[in-house]
Structure 1
Amino acid sequence: MTTLDLDPQTPAAELKGRSLWQDARNRFFRNRAALASMPILIFVILFAAFGQYFAQWSNEEIDWSMLGQFETIGGPSFENGHYFGVDETGRDIYARTVQGTRISLMIGVIGALVSVVVGTIYGAVAGYIGGKTDQIMMRIVDVMMSIPYMFVLILLLVVFGRSMFMLFVGIGLISWLDMARIVRGQTLSIKNKEFVEAAIATGVTTPVIIARHIVPNLLGVVIVYATLLVPSMIIFESFISFLGLGVQEPATSWGALINSGTDHMRTAPWKLYFPLAFFVVTLFALFFIGDGLRDALDPKDR
């Protein structure tokens, strides 16, 4: 009589679970637009960081041979080292585009960091504590959002002078308000969860609950909003610089370069096209990446 070996240790297909972050990463890699935008954004960042090492002219150096005739012989050329051409004062457009890219990206990233840090802390505290504290804190946000922000920023720049510091002050005044409202709404839906109630029952203090239980569960929303906020900050700074109230000479930014390029759009189009191309390509890459992160971290919104 034969017997069947029914050894429970017989190898079987093993199912491996995936974390939420692994699942989000897989969904992000399936977004072709976001995936194609990654190398473009990396190229722009590398251009801003190391582009000056390939320049034969500095951003302030004047090519005296181009003065007075830049519209005829000042176009892009590898022979004289002006890869993107020169402007009306004989300065190299390539070197100034590198500097403008660096400054515009720095303003966008710093503005997003201010919004993330201040807005997340403010919104999480307001949403978790609730009651009168929440009402007072959010009324402050409503009042600040009702102030004509552009008028206040222009007034600051006129009174205290145009500078990078005043741009950061102006951006910091308002950039965190939307983030605070978004975080506060998400906190209201999280603070009654079981893990928060368990932390309260074990005697965990309010600051620790906010730092260890509330904020980590908001990272998905915060990351998505931050990636969408960077291009918004770049657009805002470029608009201010386009009006002539942004970065001061000899420093420059995309907005300042575009503003200068529009004066010679027909006679010297290279002044406009190169900084405008970096501006548009970077914004599209950031928006596509932000959209891909939103779909990846919030599958219900796909």
Structure 2
Amino acid sequence: MTQNLKNLPSGSFDRVTVDSSHAEKIAKPSLSFWQDAWLRIRKNKAAIVSMIILVLIVVMAFVGPYLSPHDGEVQTITHANLPPKVQGFENLGFMDGFGILGGKEVDLYEMKNVDVYYWFGTDGLGRDMFSRLWQGTQISLFIAFVAALIDMVIGVIYGGVSAYYGGRVDDIMQRVVEILYGIPNLVVVILMILVLDPGITAIIIAITITGWIGMSRIVRGQVLKHKNQEFVLAARTLGASNNRIIIKHLLPNILGIIIINTMFTIPGAIFFEAFLSFIGLGLQPPAASLGTLINDGYKLIQFQPHILLFPSIVLSLLMIAFNLLGDGLRDALDPKMKD
């Protein structure tokens, strides 16, 4: 043991002194709440991949119709029910223009003397499915985002006012919520659509008429949790008005919960619109949405599966990506998940 100590460098037992100005220095850089949340969500690979997929789908929803050389609204009966065909794929065995006719696989483009390419094929009226798919995605996303925005605004205001003022105001407002919550959502939506003319406005109103209830209950619970905490009591003691307390103190503390709930509301609205259009209560032909395109493809699934395949893939990607991104945001914005 003594021999080992002799072999140590001469400075091994020198006294270490620390400058008092650096004694309590924080090595980790100071980050805001949103910077910290972004650093944590970057570690979630599923959320990042979902974000990329959503960005690509949104971009294609607006750019896609202009990429195709064919107008999605133009009907060419002689080009009806053509399978997908893409330049350069003819020798690869897929998307080569071959389809089943009379139990045999034949080149339908050659049979119908079609010398143009339809990347996603055509429907029963000869309309380009590539253009119609992205036009339908654009409409479905528009309905979902507008419905989610309205749900968020109404739910936050209603739940916040109910919880903050409490007492008789809270009792009356919550009885209204319980009455609406007890009515089946599908019944309310169907009645609203039957009263209004089928279209985008009718679907948005039908989705939002009861869709805000979930948001209001979540916001109410969060406001009840925070309104009696010390920072709110201090602001009230210093003479802050109710509006200032709500906007400057309560709302920033529940903003993460609002964003997370909205991210889960959007895929629900997309699916609900697709469901209504699929059963014939939503958009009506010739308008295109993911629901109407899936309805058209369902009727020809045995003969022209591509009409159903592509809108189903886009709808599935939207549902999965929004839910995975919502899970990632929930983990990133929840303070309990901090390292």
Tell me the residue number matched to 1:22.
Answer: 35
RMSD of Structure 2 on Structure 1 (CA): 2.0
TM-score norm. by structure 2 comes to 0.82
Equivalent residue, structure 1, for 2:148: 112
How is 1:261-272 mapped onto 2 (pairs within 5 angstroms)?
261-272=297-308
Once the two structures are TM-superposed, the CA of residue 106 in structure 1 deviates from its matched residue by: 0.9
Gaps of at least 5 residues in structure 1 are: none
Q: Which residue of 2 aligns with 1:76?
A: 84
Q: How many residues align structurally?
A: 294
Q: Which gives a bigger RCO, structure 1 or 2 (Cα 8 Å, sep 6+)?
A: 1
User: CA–CA distance in 1 between the matches of 2:222 and 2:20?
Assistant: 47
Whole-angstrom distance in 2 between the partners of 1:202 and 1:120: 26
Q: Which of the pair has more CA radius of gyration?
A: 2
Q: Kindly indicate whether residue 198 of structure 2 is the aligned counterpart of residue 162 of structure 1.
A: yes
CA shift in 2, pair 1:61/1:224, >3 Å: same
CA distance in 2, matches of 1:247, 1:188: 40
Match of 2:49 among 29, 33, 36: 36
**Which of 75, 79, 93 is equivalent to 1:62?**
75
Report if aligned partners of 1:124, 1:214 keep a CA contact under 8 Å in 2.
Answer: no
Decide whether the 8 Å contact of 2:65 with 2:132 is kept in 1. no
Which residue number corresponds to residue 281 of structure 1?
Answer: 317
Offset at residue 39 of structure 1 (A): 1.1
Deviations 1:182-221 (A, max 9, x none): 0000000100112211221122221222122111111010
Which residue of 2 is the match for residue 244 of structure 1? 280
- 2-structure distance, mates of 1:66, 1:105: 29
Q: Distance in 2 between matches of 1:174 and 1:301?
A: 32
Deviation for aligned residue 1:264: 0.7
Q: 1:145 to 1:14 in 2, by over 3 A?
A: closer
Give 1:186's aligned residue: 222
Deviation at 1:156, TM superposition (A): 2.1
Q: Structure 1: which amino acid aligns with 2:268?
A: S
Residue correspondence of structure 1 range 101-140 to structure 2 within 5 A: 101-140=137-176
Cα deviations across residues 64-122 of structure 1 (Å, max 9, x unaligned)? 3224xx2xxx0012362311000111111111101110011111111111111111111
CA distance in 2, matches of 1:155, 1:138: 24
Question: Structure 1's 299 and 211: CA in aligned 2 closer, same or farther, altered over 3 A?
Answer: closer
Q: How far is 1:255 from its partner?
A: 1.1
User: Structure 1 residues 7, 192: CA separation in 2 closer, same or farther (over 3 Å shift)?
Assistant: closer
* Equivalent-residue separation in structure 1 for 2:277 and 2:295 (angstroms): 8
Give the percent of matched residue pairs that are identical in Structure 1 and Structure 2. Answer: 40
Specify whether residues 77 and 133 from structure 1 end up closer, same or farther in structure 2 by C-alpha distance, changes over 3 A only: same
SS in structure 2 of the partner of residue 175 of structure 1: helix
Q: Cα 1:299–1:194, aligned 2, differ >3 Å: closer, same or farther?
A: closer
Deviation larger for 271-280 or 208-217: 208-217
Q: Distance in 1 between matches of 2:261 and 2:120?
A: 34
- The TM-score, its normalising length taken from structure 1, stands at 0.92
Alignment pair present for 1:48 and 2:61:
yes
* Partner SS for 2:72: coil
CA distance in 1, matches of 2:205, 2:253: 29
Does the aligned pair in 1 maintain the 2:148–2:265 contact within 8 Å?
yes
Q: What is residue 248 of structure 2 aligned with on the other side? A: 212
Contact 1:261/1:271, CA 8 A, preserved across alignment: yes
Q: Secondary structure at the match of 1:60?
A: coil
Q: How far, CA to CA, are the matches of 2:239 and 2:335 in structure 1?
A: 34
Task: Name the SS for the 2:126 alignment partner.
Answer: coil
Q: Is the 8 A contact 1:125 1:210 kept in 2?
A: no
Q: Is the Cα contact below 8 Å between 1:85 and 1:94 reproduced in 2? A: yes
The 3 A distance-change label for structure 1 pair 131 and 10 is closer
CA distance in structure 2 between the aligned counterparts of 1:265 and 1:247, rounded to whole angstroms: 21
In the aligned structure 2, how far is the partner of 1:134 from the partner of 1:195? 23
Paired AA for residue 76 in structure 1? P
